[in-house]
Structures are given as C-alpha cells and as structure tokens.
Amino acid sequence: MAMVEYLKLGDDPHLVAYVCDACGACYFDRRNACAACGAREFSTGRLANTGSVRTFTIVHRAARGVPAPYVSAVVDLDGGGRVKSNIINIEPTPVNVSLGMRVRLATYVTATDDDGNEAVAFGYEPEAA
C-alpha cells in the first residue's frame, strides 16, 4: 500500500499530480484554484520518473526512529513539476550529492504490519550513468 495517494504502484511506479489546465502548475493535493495563476480547472497527469536535484541538505538530526544522516532534496522533474523527497541509495555526504544531479524515482518498503501488508514510500536515487 502506498504511503501517499499520489504514488501509484504496480509494474511502473509513478507519481500523479493535479495539473492546472491554464498554466501547467502541478499540485499533489486537490485545489480549488491554482496558486500560480488563479485558474480553477485541473486535470490529473502522470509526472516523469526522472529529474534533477534543485537543492538539497544533509539532515543529521531526525525524529526518534528515523535513521540519520539522510539527504533531503527538492527535485525538478523532467517535463514539469517539482517534488520534495529524500535521495536514497547513496551515502549522504556532500561529495556524493550535487546540484543538477540526475535522479530517478525509486520505491521502498518502510514497514510491514502483522498481516504482512507493506507500507511503500518513494524517494529518488541517482540515475545510472
């Protein structure tokens, strides 16, 4: 089960956003009006699984039970859209992460309940060169 509604699982995991019909701004939550242009019509659209790191920070202090350090980043998605997510499957050091770094959507299991149901989250990992 996906941890967030906009993560679609299956053979090809991807994110889905509400896209403003007037200006193309993307939102993960339902909107009454676009924050960018004020329009009120939206469509849903699949977002690209690839993008580049716009900005990042390495978090060294986290909530209890959250392993640190980790990389928190904002990713500009190819074709439009922006998402805040963690960069996963990488050593969280400044030498391994850079602005403009190419990344790809990846999913991972965060927990499993007593019935064997998995909670699945997403992050971005470096694209293979």
Distance CA 54, CA 82 (A): 9
Task: Give the model confidence (pLDDT) of 45-91 as tens digits.
Answer: 999 999 999 999 999 999 998 899 999 999 999 999 999 999 999 99
Task: Give the model confidence (pLDDT) of 112-122 as tens digits.
Answer: 999 989 999 99
> Which pLDDT belongs to residue 1?
84
Distance CA 39, CA 92 (A): 40
Q: Kindly list the domain boundaries of the chain, sorted by start residue.
A: 7-126
Distance CA 33, CA 103 (A): 30
> Which pLDDT belongs to residue 65?
86
> Which pLDDT belongs to residue 128?
78
List Cα–Cα distances, 76 to 40, 68, 117, 122, in angstroms.
Answer: 24, 24, 31, 15
Two structure tokens written together for 60: 């060294």
Query: 4-23 in b/e burial notation, b at 16+ Cβ within 10 A?
Result: eebbeeeeeebbebbbbeee
> Which pLDDT belongs to residue 129?
61
The answer on pLDDT for 93 being more than 90 is yes
> Which pLDDT belongs to residue 2?
83
Q: How far is CA 12 from the centre of its chain?
A: 15
